[in-house]
Amino acid sequence: MSYFYFWLGVMLWMMALMAWLLFYSYTSGCLVFLSMAAFTFHVIKRISAGMFGKNKTEKDRSAPQTEAIAPEPLLGTVIASEVCIEGNIATSGKVFIYGGVKGDIHARDGLVMVMPGGWVTGKITAPHLVVEGRIEGECHAGKVDIGGQGNVQGILHYTTLSVDAGAVFAGSAEHHAEDNVVDFTSDGMPEPIVGMV
């Protein structure tokens, strides 16, 4: 049924040719007009069917099918620049401080970043500490990076320390070597280290 007007136009066109060959010019002209009208209806029907007449039960193959993706949970805590927190923060993720914290921060497995304009007054414990703002207090971290805008006043306990030009550090620093010592048993033989490779 979708090609009805097309085939009607073809049939009327052939009849118009036969009428023209038989010198029925008036009939031939009418059949040509009807043939063109049938072709026009066919084109209009095809265009409007493509835009409005799609079967709703049929999947549209032209549009890509996407699956719903669950949003990832946030893996960090952000203290905004206009926020000041009084209290302690304990997390296993990352902490980004653009504002202020008056209290202790303990990031067990994560990173603490004090951004430019951010400040902390208290004790910070984390595997990695990056300072671009200001810290007053005690810091315990495996790796400490004090950037060019960083200002640390207090005590640093670190394994690795880097201080960029322009940074300010006023206080004491205690280096703690990584544990790479093998314990000895009472018979003088080292205790085997058991772990996954």
136-146 pLDDT per residue, tens: 999 999 999 99
Instruction: Give the C-alpha separation, 197 to 195, whole Å.
Output: 7
- The answer to whether the beta carbons of residues 108 and 92 sit under 8 Å apart is yes
> What is the C-alpha to C-alpha distance for residues 77 and 91, in angstroms, rounded to an integer?
8
Dump pLDDT digits (tens) for 38-64. 889 888 888 877 666 555 555 555 555
Q: What is the pLDDT of residues 126-162, one digit of tens each?
A: 999 999 999 999 999 999 999 999 999 999 999 999 9
Three-state DSSP class for residue 13? helix
**Sign of the torsion angle spanned by Cα atoms 79, 85, 91, 95:** positive
Torsion angles phi and psi, residue 55, rounded to 5: -70, 125
SS3 70: coil
d(CA 131, CA 118): 9
pLDDT digits (tens, 9 = 90+) for 61-88: 555 555 555 555 556 889 998 999 999 9
pLDDT band at 197 (very low <50, low <70, confident <90, very high): very low
Number of alpha carbons in the 13 Å side-chain half-sphere of residue 46: 11
pTM for this entry: 0.54
41: left (phi over 0), alpha (psi -120 to 50) or beta: alpha
Look at 193 and 9; give whichever has higher pLDDT.
9
